[in-house]
Structure formats: structure tokens, C-alpha cells
Amino acid sequence: MLNAAMLSMALVAAPDSGALKAEVVKVFEASCTSCHDAADDLINLAVNPETLVGKPAKNLKGKILIVAGNPAESYLLTKMTGDGPIDGEVMPAGEGRLPGDKIAAVSNWITSLAAPAATASASAGAAVPSVAPAQPSGPRPPTRGRIERPKPFHGTHQIVLPTTTTLGQGILQFRIDHRFGRIGTERGFLGLDAGVIMSIGLAVGLVDGWDFRIRRTNSLKGWEIGTRYIPLRQEKGRKVSFGFEASLDGLRDEGAANPVSGNIVMMLSRLWFQRWSTMLTLSYSSPTNHAANPEIDYDGDGEGPVPVEDRRGTLDVGIASTVWLGKARRWGLEIEYLQPIPAPADPTDIFYYRGGDADSSVPVPIGSWSIGGSYYTGKHFFQVFITNNRQIHLNQAAPGGQVVNPFQTEGLEDPPSALNQLNFFLGFNLARHFTLGKNAARWRKEREEKLNKQGGGATANARMTQPASRL
């Protein structure tokens, strides 16, 4: 009688299972279902989470996704925390461990699932099974070497500038950078009818914090290979993120002033209040690709400029900032500014301002600015923006903006349409992430079934290896 009374009091004091389940659904919707939905062969987290109770993890013998009342034995939670043997990386993919309050929400819900079974056992006079205690509902203190914060930026690039965000080991990124023609060109239809600059690239996370990429851009027929290493990462518990990127450009167009050039960038960033990211960069491009056939009037004697060979580099300081919107922080407002640092007042060593103008009377180079918005799903990252510089490779964007006044176009001061007054470029960036090895289990299973149909079942089974899956 006393045991039954104590159990009843404990159940009354326990958190409501329905409310806990609602919190779990929010966690899944914010961080998981963009990848793990009905289209995923391994697990669907877009359903009622109670359907996961007692369900085995596909292709992993002995692993149960949710064990009612036992968070420690629930493989789904282990996959989210890394506090035990897992196959692959900690989820969400490429982002690492969720904040402590979200982990606690899932753990508390799993613990609450034991209440009905305990009530039935108590009514029958059986001993009440021991249940793992729920974790505290608040954020846990950071654990050394574990991820407790989101990354400073959703994208690996802000607009042109690289960020301190890396892909994560085993993540493949396919990326498209696109710039339309200049808005303000007569009959250009907001730049859509004018010439387009587009880049297509692939990047891969070699290890956590170290990426490698290659891309090709139609501007000057440029190829670029680059690598990024971020040894100090805020998402790993540091106060800031700090790292380097180095890249090498090969330009095949005959109009390229410098067919081979290189860039090195230092990045320092911080995420503030979980909503505001800022970054400072210092970059050097050498030799910068300026105009193909530059000319300089050295002595100003009126005889006109003479052809020169431009092998100078460009030193830039850059800033980037993103404000995240919405409960899931998927929407972002973004700005970027890249400012060339002026060279000494020497006519033989002046910078090319406005993308190729050697006018030494310009006291300060016109920087390259961009402003726009983004949307992030976990596997997709999309940006749309306006900018005064439509170059994509850093060594081509380094000299500064390609237009001056964004609200007035030379020669079109009185156009038939007011939109022709605008003097900048419209662009977008699109990235898609893939987890390498995600479909390996399905491919092996299909191959095994095919071989079995051909009569080679025993041989096929002997050749199968443990699949590399995420869950």
C-alpha cells in the first residue's frame, strides 16, 4: 500500500509526457527532419516520435532507437550525444552535438515513457523497475572536447569571403555561385539579360576542421583549388573561432593579366548571444588580377600613359556579419565588406581601384560590399543578395567594387524606367551537403539481393562488410 502511494506521488510530480513529447518534436523539426524524413532510407524523424520506441536501428544489430525509460540504452540519444559507441559522426551531421537543453528534452521524454509500465507493475504487486534519472532540463556545462554551440556561420562563405565554418569529416558540398549582369544596363531587365558570371565547385571535409575544395568559374576561365583549416573553433567550446585559408588560381583566358595567382586569408569570428555572428578577415592576393593591359601615366607630362606589366598584390581587410532570425535560426540577414588597404603614394605602386582603374587621384579605394539574406535547412544553404562587385574568386574581387554610386548609372541619368537608375549586381549562392557513405548500406543490400536472386547468396553474404551508416 505504501509503495503504491509513493509511486502515485512520483507519477503526479513527474513532468507530463505529452509536454515532453512536444519539446522533442520541436528539437527534431529544428535540427533533424531536414535530412531524416520519409525520403531517408535509415530513419524518419518527421513522424510521431513514439513510433520509434522499440524500433531497431537499421543495419545495426542489437541497437534500439528508443528504449522506453532508459535514455542510456537508446541509440538515438547516444547518436546525438556521442556518449557511447556510435557508427559514423555525432548528429546533426557536420554540426556536432546539440545544446544541452535540447539533449535534456529528448532524455527526459525517454525517461517519462516508463511511467505506464511502472504503474501496471505496481498494480500487479510486482517490483517497480529502476529507471535512469532524467537529466536536468537546463543547459549542461560544456564538456571538454564536445560541441555545445552552433557554428558561427551557416555557410562556408559569407558572399565572397570564406568563413570559419567547415564542413565536418565526410561531408561533401556541391556549390553554385551566380552573378547576373549589372542592374542599370539599358534593356538589361535587372541584369538578367546581361552577361553572367557563374562558379561551380566541390568541397569535402577531410577531417573535422579541415576542408579541401576545387571550383571553376567562367570569369577569365578560372580554376581554383583551396584548403581551409580552423584549429580554434567556438563550437568546440572556445571563445572565438580562428583559422586560415589558402588558394591557388589558374586563369586560362588570354585576357588574364596574371595567369597564376594565390590568396591567403586569416579569419577571426565569434557568435554572440546565439543570434549574431561577426567576422574579421585579413587577406593578401598576389599577384592580383587587374586589367589585362594596364597603362600608367608615370610623369603626368601629358604625353599619355604607357603600357606596364602589373605584378602587384592586394592587401584587404574584410568584415562579415549575420543576424539569425526565427526560432530555428534558419533565416539570416547578411552583410559583407572587403576594403583594399591603400598602397604608398607612389605612381609605380598604386592600387587598381574600381576593378581596374589606375587613377591615382582616388584617395581611398572603393571597397566591395554585399547585402542580402539566406535560408538554411541543414543540408541546403541558399543566399540572395545585391553587390557592387560580381567577381567570385577572391583575387578578382580584391581590388574593390566594380560600380561606384549604387543609385546612378553613367549615361542613363534619365532612363525610361526608374529601375535603370540602380547600379549594382544581383546574385545568389547555393550549396548542398551530402554525407559520404550514407547510401552505402542500401547499395550493399540491393547488391546482396541481386546476387541472391542469381543463386550466389552464401557467397554474397560472405563478401558483405559492416555498412557505414549514420544510424
- How many other β-carbons are positioned within 10 Å of the β-carbon of residue 226? 22
Within-domain flag for 51: yes
Domain match, 90 and 177 both: no
Res 203 pLDDT > 90: yes
Q: What's the pLDDT score for residue 471?
A: 45
Domain match, 114 and 178 both: no
Residue 47 belongs to what domain range? Answer: 2-123
Domain match, 118 and 188 both: no
Q: What's the pLDDT score for residue 245?
A: 97
Under a CB-based contact definition with an 8 Å cutoff, are residues 102 and 76 in contact?
no
CATH code where residue 220 lies: 2.40.160.40
Domain match, 212 and 285 both: yes
Within-domain flag for 249: yes
Q: Which three cell numbers stand for residue 256?
A: 588574364
Q: Is 128 exposed, middle or buried (0-12, 13-18, 19+ CB in 10 A)?
A: middle
Domain match, 183 and 324 both: yes
The pLDDT of 424-453, averaged and rounded, is 75
Under a CB-based contact definition with an 8 Å cutoff, are residues 158 and 389 in contact?
no
Within-domain flag for 390: yes
Q: Which three cell numbers stand for residue 225?
A: 583549388
> Could you tell me the pLDDT band of residue 305, with boundaries at 50, 70 and 90?
low
Within-domain flag for 95: yes
Among 392, 419, 377, which residue's Cα sits nearest to residue 336?
Answer: 392
Within-domain flag for 154: no
Domain match, 188 and 99 both: no
Highest mean pLDDT pick, 110-124, 220-234, 313-327: 220-234
Of 29-38, 269-278, 383-392, 394-403, the range with the lowest mean pLDDT is 29-38
Of 224-233, 247-256, 286-295, the range with the lowest mean pLDDT is 286-295
Domain final position from 104, 123, 142: 123
Domain match, 378 and 234 both: yes
Residues sharing a CB contact under 8 Å with residue 383, sequence separation 6 or more, in sequence order: 155, 159, 334, 372, 373, 374, 428, 429, 430
The pLDDT of 5-29, averaged and rounded, is 64
> Could you tell me the pLDDT band of residue 24, with boundaries at 50, 70 and 90?
confident
Domain match, 105 and 191 both: no
Q: 3-state SS of the chain: helix, strand, coil percent to 5?
A: 20, 30, 50
Within-domain flag for 450: no
Within-domain flag for 57: yes
Among 263, 169, 272, which residue's Cα sits nearest to residue 211?
Answer: 169
Of 109-123, 127-141, 297-311, the range with the lowest mean pLDDT is 127-141
The pLDDT of 227-248, averaged and rounded, is 94
Residues sharing a CB contact under 8 Å with residue 4, sequence separation 6 or more, in sequence order: 122, 123
Calculate the alpha carbon distances from 152 to 54, 94, 96, 275, 375 in Å: 37, 13, 13, 9, 15
Res 140 pLDDT > 60: no
pLDDT: is 10 or 32 the higher one? 32
Q: What's the pLDDT score for residue 153?
A: 93
Res 2 pLDDT > 60: no
Q: What's the pLDDT score for residue 172?
A: 93
Q: What's the pLDDT score for residue 88?
A: 63
The pLDDT of 232-240, averaged and rounded, is 90
The pLDDT of 425-429, averaged and rounded, is 94
- How many other β-carbons are positioned within 10 Å of the β-carbon of residue 388? 22
Within-domain flag for 441: no
Domain match, 84 and 182 both: no
Q: What's the pLDDT score for residue 220?
A: 87
> Could you tell me the pLDDT band of residue 27, with boundaries at 50, 70 and 90?
confident
Stated pTM of the model: 0.67
pLDDT: is 98 or 294 the higher one? 98
The pLDDT of 156-169, averaged and rounded, is 93
HSE toward the beta carbon, residue 253, CA cutoff 13 A: 15
Among 165, 162, 161, which residue's Cα sits nearest to residue 153?
Answer: 165
pLDDT: is 331 or 79 the higher one? 331
Domain match, 281 and 385 both: yes
pLDDT: is 171 or 448 the higher one? 171
Domain final position from 123, 142, 163: 123
Which residue is associated with the grid cell 540504452? 73
- Determine the Cα–Cα distance for residues 209 and 314; give it in Å rounded to an integer: 27
Q: Which three cell numbers stand for residue 175?
A: 556549390
Domain match, 35 and 112 both: yes
Calculate the alpha carbon distances from 241 to 165, 191, 237 in Å: 9, 37, 10
> Could you tell me the pLDDT band of residue 314, with boundaries at 50, 70 and 90?
confident
Res 440 pLDDT > 60: no
pLDDT: is 275 or 18 the higher one? 275
Q: What percent of the chain has pLDDT over 70?
A: 65
The pLDDT of 80-94, averaged and rounded, is 72
Distance of CA 146 to the CA centre of its chain: 19
Total number of domains constituting the chain: 2
Under a CB-based contact definition with an 8 Å cutoff, are residues 64 and 73 in contact?
yes
Highest mean pLDDT pick, 23-27, 316-320, 358-362, 451-455: 316-320
Q: Which three cell numbers stand for residue 133?
A: 534519472
Domain match, 77 and 182 both: no
Residues sharing a CB contact under 8 Å with residue 15, sequence separation 6 or more, in sequence order: 108, 112, 134
The amino acid at 24: V
